[in-house]
Structure 1
Amino acid sequence: MQFDQAVRGRPADAALAVVVGALVTTAAVFEDGTTVLDYLLIALGSLTLAAYRGAPRVVLAITTAATTAYVVHAHPGTLSALPVLGAVHTAARAGHRGVAALASAVFLAGFMTTGPGAGEVVERTLLLAGWFLCALVTGLADRNWQAYLRQTEQRALEAERTREEVALRRAGEERLRIARELHDSLTHSISIVKLQAGVAVHLARKRGEEVPPALLAIQQAGGEAMRELRSTLEVLRTDEPTGTPALLVERARAAGLAVDLRVTGEERPLAATVDRAAYRIVQEALTNAARHAGPAKVTVELGYRPDELTIEVRDDGVARRSGPPVPGIGLTGMRERVTALGGTLSAAPRAEGGFSVRAELPLDAPEEAR
Structure 2
Amino acid sequence: MWAREDTGVPRWWHVVLPVVIVTLVGVFQLSYRDAGGWNPPNSWQIFVYASACLALLLRYRHPVAVASVTVVLSATVPVIHPHTVIVDAPSILALYTVARHTDRRTAWTLGAAAAVLLTAGSAWWLPGHLANIRNILPANYIGIAVAVGDSVRANRALLHQAREKAREAERTREEEARRRVRDERIRIARDLHDVVAHHITLVNAQAGVAHHLLDRQPEQARQALAGIKETSRAALDELRATVGLLRQDDDPPQSRQPTPGFAQAGALVDSFVSAGFDVGLTSSGAARPLAGPSDLAAYRILQEALTNAGKHGTQHRAHVDLAYTRNHLELTVTNPARAGHGGAGTGHGLIGMRERAVSSGGSCTAQLRSDGLYEVRAVLPLRTSDATAG
Q: Which TM bucket (shorter chain)?
A: 0.3 to 0.5
In our comparison, the structure showing a higher alpha carbon Rg is 2
